[in-house]
A and B are shown apart, each in its own frame.
Chain A
Amino acid sequence: MSVRQPSGIFAPGVIEEIQRKAATGLYQIRGYGTLRERRWATFDDLTFLPCTLTRIPLEGYREKCNTKVRLGTRFARKPVALDIPVMITGMSWGALSYHAKVALAKGAATVGSSNTTGDGGMLMAEREHSRSLIYEVLPSRYGINVHHMRMADAIELTIGQGAKLGTGGLLLGSKVSDRIAEQRDLPIGVDQRSPARHPDFLGPDDMIIKVEELREATDGEVPIFIKVGASRVFDDVKLAAKAGADVVVVDGMEGGTGASPAILQEHTGVPTLAAVCEARAALEDIGLYGEVQLIIAGGIRDGVDAAKAIALGADAVYIGTAALIALNCNKPIYEEDYAAIGAAPHACHHCHTGRCPVGITTQDEDLMRRLEIDEGAERVANLLRAMTLEIQMLARACGKSDVRHLEPEDMAALTLEASAICNLPLVGARKVFGR
């Protein structure tokens, strides 16, 4: 062994982190989500089994394959009707710039999809440009406004977030500008730490009453989503359904964030692949699969991830980071500004600094102007279009005339872990492991 062999335990990155702690006495805060090389089962551990002699495919470029989806059919008088099953998740005005929020709204609306407010209340421009706007009610209640709630197409009661389970939001002082401080009723420049618990209910039984209150405030018209970070998914999904959710959103550990302690992003929660399997099993267990719709989030990158999530039981997926990447996140432009914050294109997770080189996660007027709203919106729309085509391609190859007809049987597992988690046969073995 070389005398220059680095330790596998105290690897260079570990040494750097220990010495950073020694210098500052603080844990590390950053954005983006987990950076780990994934050794757990992911959507990549599944493969589709398209039609051959046992199934008949649909013509890939010609025959109809429906992508429309209705969410909130359980109780709401006006379910959310979307043209595609890929939606934009909640990201706050504060974490994101005004330009980014409006570009996401416009992009989603262009292709008949939805976008979601976030932990900072609603932007009026966001409402104006949205086709379907989901209004989040979060523990912090920043910017809470009953009139905005009543303008929304759905209410999302957020219990937690996959990237940072069991904790509230975080917005460092560099992003708490005068406009953001006013919107959130905070002093300018504070390191804002949002509450982890809702201020007016604690457990699942109280939440039943809360859901009823939200229905009263919206006169029973719009669906109530309940969003949980993926932890004890099987129990949480049942409790959310029991509380009267029309739609349950499960956010896996690969989900992103604008700022959070790094250890929470790396070492808490259940991966998205496992989460969708547990969520479906939970709804089946209480006889509500299909009646309560399921949205899956957390690291969804493309139409393949989305199609696999749908095949495993989701009605739709949320994307967040992927949509930001469409807006130029991590693109190799303004490279000197990446360097200035200690980052580099393709390896930037410095959303927390408020110095986003491409104008997405910043409140700096000069930086945010780098994101041209209409161009950004078109790129978001294009991403959603391409993802939808990818989902349809896989669905047609599997012989489905509706993307939501994709089912577990259309796939096999490439690894033992995925076989056990997804209850799918391992390729070549023709049997499910771990059953």
Chain B
Amino acid sequence: MTIDCRGKQIREINRGIRAGLASGEVEVLNPDARHNLAVALLQPGAVRIRGSVGYYCGGLMDGATVHIEGSAGWGLAESMLSGMVTVRRNAGNGAAAAIRGGTVVIHGNAASRLGVSMKGGLIVVGGNCDYMAGFMGQKGVMIICGDAGEAFADSMYSTVCYVGGRIADLGNDAVIEPMSDDDVALVESSLRTHLGEAVRATKPAAHAFRKVVAGKKLWNFSHRDWKTWQEAL
């Protein structure tokens, strides 16, 4: 099924996408960076968007796959339960915010607050990410092939981050931990699966990634860590 967004209200487009999912793949033409495209898709099936999208594309989703051939605005795939969202180019602020499952693949760069409050799932970024990626990450895995911006992995709970490039600055309570064999295997398989063999070959070797986790000093109030709290609060 093909849906042309031109001249249509967002509700009509999304209803069309949901109806089309039942019969397989839906192609979306002329998205023109519209907001709230492919929101709350609750069944399996694939959507291929031929262009760039605005805010919240793939948000509140459970089970579908959305391929965006251009770039994405803020809040890409926010609060997703399961499924997959891929972006051929770049993603705006708060991509994969609060996802509880599923996979988000950004082939270009991600802006600030990538994976903020993520509660599960997997994020793979082929390029760089800007400041405060992983902020308050609760669960899940984030893999950045390029450089990470300031305050990386700030105030996290149990999210695990891997960075192939330079980290501008670690956030509060973020610590670097040695890569285990399991970590190397996870990064390698994730990159091969989600970037493809040819692109994966252009990225750093898996053992060269650095693993960033929470130091757990902010997990509980403690006067012994007063200096940490002063900086964090």
A complexed with B:
yes
Identify which of A107-115, A141-149, A243-251, A353-361 touches chain B. A141-149
Which residues of chain A from 198 to 232 have a CB within 8 Å of any chain B CB?
A: 199-201, 206, 209-210, 212-213, 216-217, 219-220
Q: Which residues of B contact A213 (CB under 8 A)?
A: 35-36, 39, 55-56, 59-60, 75
Which residues of chain A from 164 to 204 have a CB within 8 Å of any chain B CB?
A: 172-173, 184-187, 189-191, 195, 199-201
Complex Cα distance, B136 from A172, in Å, reads 16
* Contact among A146, A147, A185, A189 for B139, CB-based, below 8 A: A185
- Which among A200, A209, A220 has the highest number of chain B CB atoms within 10 Å? A200
A135 to B: closest C-beta gap in Å: 12
- Which among A24, A149, A150, A217 has the highest number of chain B CB atoms within 10 Å? A217
* Contact among A26, A140, A209 for B56, CB-based, below 8 A: A209
Q: Which residues of A contact B40 (CB under 8 A)?
A: 146, 150, 216-217
Interface residues as binary, A322-345 with B (CB distance below 8 Å gives 1, 0 otherwise): 000000000000000000000000
* Contact among A146, A173, A185 for B61, CB-based, below 8 A: A146
Complex Cα distance, B62 from A217, in Å, reads 11
Q: Is B146 an interface residue (CB 8 A)?
A: no
Which residues of chain B from 61 to 96 have a CB within 8 Å of any chain A CB?
A: 61-62, 74-75, 78-79, 81, 93-94
Q: Which residues of B contact A24 (CB under 8 A)?
A: 223
Tell whether A147 pairs with B97 under 8 Å between CB atoms, given A185-B139, A213-B36, A213-B60.
no
Assess the A187–B157 pair: CB atoms within 8 A: yes
Interface residues as binary, B86-114 with A (CB distance below 8 Å gives 1, 0 otherwise): 00000001100110100000000000010
Q: How many residues of B contact A (CB 8 A)?
A: 40
Interface residues as binary, B2-17 with A (CB distance below 8 Å gives 1, 0 otherwise): 0000000011001000
Tell whether A200 pairs with B74 under 8 Å between CB atoms, given A25-B226, A191-B220, A209-B54.
yes
Complex Cα distance, B98 from A140, in Å, reads 8
Assess the B136–A146 pair: CB atoms within 8 A: no
Identify which of B116-124, B193-201, B203-211 touches chain A. B116-124
Q: Which residues of A contact B61 (CB under 8 A)?
A: 146
Q: Is B42 an interface residue (CB 8 A)?
A: yes
Assess the B60–A199 pair: CB atoms within 8 A: no
Q: Which residues of A contact B223 (CB under 8 A)?
A: 24-26
* Contact among A149, A209, A219 for B60, CB-based, below 8 A: A149
Query: Who on chain B is nearest to A23 by CB?
Result: B223
Q: Which residues of A contact B158 (CB under 8 A)?
A: 187
Query: 26 A-B residue contacts at CB 8 Å?
Result: A25-B226, A140-B117, A141-B79, A141-B97, A145-B81, A146-B81, A173-B220, A185-B119, A185-B139, A187-B157, A187-B158, A190-B220, A191-B220, A191-B221, A199-B75, A199-B78, A199-B98, A199-B117, A200-B59, A200-B93, A200-B116, A209-B35, A213-B35, A213-B55, A216-B10, A217-B39
Interface residues of B (CB under 8 A from A): 10-11, 14, 35-36, 39-40, 42, 54-56, 59-62, 74-75, 78-79, 81, 93-94, 97-98, 100, 113, 116-117, 119-120, 136, 138-139, 157-158, 219-221, 223, 226
Which A-B residue pairs are the 9 nearest by beta carbons?
A200-B75, A185-B119, A199-B97, A141-B98, A217-B40, A25-B223, A146-B60, A199-B116, A200-B94
Interface residues of A (CB under 8 A from B): 24-26, 29, 140-142, 144-147, 149-150, 172-173, 184-187, 189-191, 195, 199-201, 206, 209-210, 212-213, 216-217, 219-220
With A200-B116, A213-B55 already in contact, 8 other A-B pairs whose C-beta atoms are closer than 8 Å: A146-B62, A146-B81, A147-B62, A185-B139, A186-B138, A189-B220, A200-B78, A216-B10
